[in-house]
Amino acid sequence: MSRLRAAIVGATGLAGQQFIAALANHPTFEITALAASSRSAGKTYKDAIRTEKGAIQWFTSIALPEKVASMSVEDAEQLDASKVDVVFTAVESGPAKLLEPKYAKTTPVLSTASAFRYEADVPLILPGVNAEHAQLIDTQRKQRGWKGYILPNPNCTTVGLAYSLAPLHRAYGVKRVHMVSMQSVSGAGRSPGVIGLDIIDNLIPYIPDEEGKVEKETLKILGTLTDGKIEAASIAVSSTCTRVSVLEGHTEVVHVELARATTEAEITATWRGFGREFLAAGYPSAPPALIHVHEDPFRPQPRLDRDLNDGMTTAIGRLRRDEHSPNGWKYVLVSHNTKMGAAKGCILVAEHLAATGYLG
Ligand SMILES: NC(=O)c1ccc[n+]([C@@H]2O[C@H](COP(=O)([O-])OP(=O)(O)OC[C@H]3O[C@@H](n4cnc5c(N)ncnc54)[C@H](OP(=O)(O)O)[C@@H]3O)[C@@H](O)[C@H]2O)c1
């Protein structure tokens, strides 16, 4: 069977490069088009990521695939989406707002950008958590008159938090959450990104717009789809998002208040067993487990845990009672921001959509 043709828009950026890495030898998708801004248009991919001084700014741990290196980069505004089966977009929200509806007229668009995340007819799918929300795609297509659709990924900080909360919410009910993040530098992208001089030996206590995204998205993901609408979960979510001197992997310190009493052993077992049904489908980008629980109190750490199962598993540790709140618990998690939190997470959703008739 021939593979589905995929375009990557924003292919030169950090998330775009992770799309290239994850699709390099993919059994379902084949990269047939690359696009970026007019700055890169008309160049070969290798030239588009080469600086004036000659540095090739390839960021991922696999070698730049030769076929991709010599492909021509198109201007995203000129990309003919009807020539591919799926468009993966990895551009900032501003260009995404203009480009994605244009592509969606003919073709499904899976996006890492926030531009459409909060629209009522747009689901936010986290693999293994709320795949049933994909039905909203039918409503979106009907309402907007599109052959394709727009399906954004949740924000990279939301991803780890929502993975840790989803099993707890199902098993015990979550009433209240407080989260403090320590986010990696790659989360800010390459342009403009974070300047080394500002972040080394430092912590920046504010990431514009991030806290609102985490709070809204968590409620949407954990919400229920009823009569063609997502009813947001009723949980008090509060967060403080900070940037730290770590290359990849977001660390989050979470305090959660559950609706009923439970034990450390029960929570650990709930996390460890989470997502088995989804994982049984055997999707190529799926990890063996969505959540890994550490008993070692010095874990998780971003450097040691972000690449667990190629960055597709949320690592959790330091689970303990919070004696100051009823049914309160505390823990720390690490989640890979450019893999499960962006490109490869998007691809896992695409694999599920291809298997359930929404792609191809
Ligand atoms: N980095 C992460 O950890 C992460 C995680 C989750 C979600 N995201 C989201 O993913 C998106 C991309 O982030 P990133 O970190 O990859 O950013 P980035 O490294 O700065 O890359 C931005 C990409 O967008 C392209 N671009 C810029 N302006 C454009 C325009 N007007 N039209 C078409 N393409 C344009 C750039 O192309 P040129 O090279 O030609 O300028 C580049 O390919 C953002 O929405 C971000 O919020 C990022």
Return the CATH class of domain 156-335: alpha beta
Mean pLDDT, rounded, for 16-26: 97
- H-run or E-run covering 330: strand 328-335
Whole-structure pTM value: 0.97
161: region left, alpha or beta (phi > 0 left; psi from -120 to 50 alpha): alpha
Active-site residue, 156 included: yes
Q: Say if residue 352's pLDDT is above 80.
A: yes
Phi, psi dihedrals of residue 60, rounded to the nearest 5°? -85, 170
- With the most atoms of ligand 1 within 8 angstroms of its CB, the residue from 9, 14, 57, 348 to mutate is 14
pLDDT tens for residues 140-189?
999 999 999 999 999 999 999 999 999 999 999 999 999 999 999 999 99
| Ligand 1 neighbours (beta carbon < 6 A) | 10-16, 36-37, 39-40, 76, 90-93, 95, 112-113, 156, 186-187, 189-191, 337-338, 341-342
pLDDT bucket at 191, cuts 50 / 70 / 90: confident
Mean pLDDT, rounded, for 101-113: 98
Which residue among the candidates 133, 156, 241, 352 is catalytic per the annotation? 156
Please report, for the chain, how many H helices and E strands are present, in that order.
12, 15
- Residue 310 makes CB contacts below 8 A (sequence gap 6+) with 287, 339, 344
Mean pLDDT, rounded, for 260-264: 98
**CATH of 4-153+343-355 among 1.25.40.10, 3.40.50.720, 3.30.1370.10, 1.10.3720.10:** 3.40.50.720
pLDDT of the residue at 155: 98
- With the most atoms of ligand 1 within 8 angstroms of its CB, the residue from 19, 37, 246 to mutate is 37
What residues pair up with 9 in beta bridges, in sequence order? 35, 89
pLDDT of the residue at 311: 98
Q: Say if residue 1's pLDDT is above 80.
A: no
Question: What is the amino acid identity at position 190?
Answer: R
- How does the average pLDDT of the chain come out, rounded? 97
Q: Say if residue 265's pLDDT is above 90.
A: yes
Residue with tokens 């609408």: 229
Domain(s) of CATH 3.40.50.720: residues in the chain: 4-153+343-355
Q: Say if residue 346's pLDDT is above 90.
A: yes
Q: Say if residue 192's pLDDT is above 90.
A: no
Q: Say if residue 276's pLDDT is above 80.
A: yes
Distance (Å) from CA 212 to ligand 1 centroid: 20
Domain(s) of CATH 3.30.360.10: residues in the chain: 156-335
Q: Which atom of ligand 1 is nearest to the CA of 73?
A: 40
Distance (Å) from CA 179 to ligand 1 centroid: 26
